[in-house]
Amino acid sequence: MSFNYEYPRALNTVDAIIISKKENKILLIKRLYEPFKNFWALPGGFIEMEETLLESVKREVLEETSLDNINLREFKVYGDPGRDPRGRTITFVYYGYCDSPELAQAGDDAKELAWFSLNELPDLAFDHKKIIDDFLSLLI
């Protein structure tokens, strides 16, 4: 049985904050496509209908960074209107620590990736600067 509602619904995504334990840096990907093409962003993307949120974020991290051994934990949910120009989007943010940053390689819709100092971040897509700032405020 299928239900259809006439009311608009939000899109759902997942994002990952991945910190290198060795260098205290954060992993960012450069977006291959619009919106925010060529901007740096947290690895992430849209959930698949048959996945749990954790399965979605693990898949996105693997597809975009080649990393598959990150223990990801829930951090926070972001859903302010206007955070994504494609429409109302709610993202479920996870975080984890990487023991082998040298294994990260760009893939899927990540044009490239790089590890950035937490004190020297580039211009970021969406509201990812706010997300990272919120995460860092918990570490202080």
Residue pLDDT, tens place only, 15-65: 999 999 889 899 999 999 999 999 999 999 999 999 999 999 999 999 999
What confidence category does residue 130 fall into, taking pLDDT thresholds of 50, 70 and 90? very high
Structural domain boundaries enclosing 50: 11-139
- Overall average pLDDT of the 70-86 stretch: 97
Tell me which of 4 and 91 has the higher pLDDT: 91
Q: Which of 34, 48, 74, 112 is catalytic?
A: 112
Domain with residue 35: its CATH number is 3.90.79.10
Q: Is residue 15 part of a domain?
A: yes
Q: Is residue 45 part of a domain?
A: yes
Active-site residue flag, 112: yes
Residue labelled with tokens 């925010």: 36
Q: Is residue 1 part of a domain?
A: no
In the prediction, which pLDDT does 79 show? Answer: 97
Number of domains in the chain: 1
Label the pairing between strands 25-31 and 40-41: antiparallel
The pTM score is 0.94
